[in-house]
């Protein structure tokens, strides 16, 4: 009865909104126009998105996971894929490992193989097809067709470089993200994309500026999280949330997830060992480190480099460079 009253109320309000908006066109070119009330009422009729992985990635999002090399982002991504595949079909586009490398990663010392959920499908690139013209356009089309023909809505792409070799260029990055957003909206896909960060200092917290490539990329993603290396212990990793649209901003710098990478049975995985502030896992600069950084900034400035160029080269903030140069 309660459900009937809810939908009846929505229907009544939609009719009112239609009457009020009769003089307003609904479509102008590629633009759709609705009243704010109609927008939220139509959205209320659809189910809320479910979390795919903690509060870091939700259904219907194009999400990014990035880290420096060899910190385990592919390991975490496959772990996420296996978890989701317990209840949903998942396509994991593995553009990093060969099938043998994959097999060895998920075997124990006795040669026993890990058993993944039957809903998890791994996709490789056919190396004989790499000479196609306009590779980037072709791979996006093939990803779309692979998802449609297998009936899969959850896609994990490892990694961004194979989608857009020129992802550091603003225009190329924008075109790539528009294509992915179009796929998401057209087919209701949920997409997790893995990406790199340039070599970063353990002194500094992870920020959006650490995502390799154009800053436009960060702006397009619905959600973003990253893996950092602990300065306290080289075997520790921490997971930090950098952008969120659904859910809560749970794992920020005051509450990062701390984990180790362990092989349990034949399954290589992140094992959560608690939570901490990011600051606890950053390196404390010594007086020598501080003096060297100041010297490097002044030296680069003396070479005629701008504050922006110095900040990028030393992987520090522009405001910090500015403060030191003013002294």
Tens of pLDDT, residue by residue over 266-300, are: 999 999 999 999 999 998 877 777 788 888 898 89
Instruction: Give the pLDDT score at 1.
Output: 44
Instruction: Give the pLDDT score at 254.
Output: 96
What is the 3 state secondary structure string of 1-51?
Answer: CHHHHHHHHHHHHHHHHHHHCCCCCCEECCEECCCHHHHHHHHHCCCCCCE
Q: Could you tell me where the beta strands, DSSP code E, fall in the chain?
A: 27-28, 31-32, 51-53, 57-58, 62-67, 90-94, 120-123, 154-158, 190-196, 223-229, 236-243, 256-264, 267-276
> Does the pLDDT at position 2 exceed 80?
no
Instruction: Give the pLDDT score at 122.
Output: 98
Task: Give 131's pLDDT tier (boundaries 50, 70, 90).
Answer: low
* Alpha-carbon separation of residue 322 from 203, 216, 251, 284, 294 (angstroms): 18, 24, 30, 21, 11
Query: What global pTM score does this model have?
Result: 0.81
Structure tokens at 25: 């066109």
Are 10 and 44 within 8 A, CB to CB? yes
Residues 6+ apart with CB under 8 A from 233: none
How many Cβ atoms sit within 10 Å of the Cβ of residue 9? 11
3-state class (DSSP) for residue 67: strand
> Does the pLDDT at position 207 exceed 50?
yes
Residues 6+ apart with CB under 8 A from 18: 38
3-state class (DSSP) for residue 115: coil
Q: Which fold has domain 51-281?
A: Rossmann fold (3.40.50)
pLDDT tens digit sequence for 44-100 = 888 889 999 999 999 999 999 999 999 999 999 999 999 999 999 999 999 999 999
Instruction: Give the pLDDT score at 130.
Output: 65
pLDDT tens digit sequence for 146-167 = 999 999 999 999 988 777 764 5
3-state class (DSSP) for residue 58: strand
Instruction: Give the pLDDT score at 218.
Output: 86
- CATH 3.40.50.300 domain extents, the chain: 51-281
* 186 vs 247: which has the higher pLDDT: 186
* 257 vs 202: which has the higher pLDDT: 257
Measured CA to CA, the distance from residue 42 to residue 11 in angstroms comes to 9
Instruction: Give the pLDDT score at 213.
Output: 63
Structure tokens at 289: 């480190």
pLDDT tens digit sequence for 3-47 = 556 666 666 766 666 666 566 777 888 888 888 888 888 888 888
Burial of 244 (0-12, 13-18, 19+ CB in 10 A): buried
Mean pLDDT of the chain: 87
* 193 vs 317: which has the higher pLDDT: 193
């Amino acid at each position: 009865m309660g459900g009937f009253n809810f939908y009846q109320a929505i229907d009544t309000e939609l009719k009112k909104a239609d009457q009020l908006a009769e003089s307003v066109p609904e479509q102008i070119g590629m633009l759709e126009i609705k009243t704010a009330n109609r927008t939220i009422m139509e959205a209320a009729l659809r189910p809320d998105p479910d979390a795919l992985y903690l509060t870091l990635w939700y259904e219907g999002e194009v999400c990014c996971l990035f880290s420096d090399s060899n910190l385990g982002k592919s390991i975490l991504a496959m772990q996420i894929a296996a978890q989701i595949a317990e209840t949903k079909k998942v396509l994991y586009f593995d553009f990093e490992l060969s099938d043998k490398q994959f097999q060895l990663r998920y075997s124990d010392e006795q040669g026993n193989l890990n058993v993944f959920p039957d809903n998890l499908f791994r996709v490789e690139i056919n190396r004989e097809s790499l000479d196609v013209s306009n590779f980037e356009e072709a791979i996006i089309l093939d990803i779309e067709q692979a998802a449609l023909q297998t009936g899969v809505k959850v896609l994990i792409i490892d990694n961004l470089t194979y989608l857009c070799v020129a992802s550091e260029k603003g225009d190329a990055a924008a075109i790539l993200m528009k294509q992915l957003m179009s796929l998401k909206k057209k087919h209701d896909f949920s997409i997790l994309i893995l990406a790199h960060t340039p070599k970063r200092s353990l002194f500094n917290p992870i920020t959006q500026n650490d995502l390799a490539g154009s800053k436009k990329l960060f702006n397009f993603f619905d959600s973003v999280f990253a893996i950092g290396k602990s300065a306290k212990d080289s075997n520790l990793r921490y997971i930090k949330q950098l952008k969120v649209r659904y859910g809560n901003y749970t794992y920020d710098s005051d509450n990062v997830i701390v984990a180790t990478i362990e092989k349990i049975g034949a399954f290589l995985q992140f094992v959560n060992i608690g939570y901490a502030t990011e600051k606890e896992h950053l390196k404390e600069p010594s007086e020598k480190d501080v003096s060297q950084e100041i010297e490097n900034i002044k030296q680069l400035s003396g070479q005629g480099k701008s504050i922006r160029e110095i900040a990028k080269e030393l992987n520090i903030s522009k405001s910090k460079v500015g403060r030191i140069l003013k002294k």
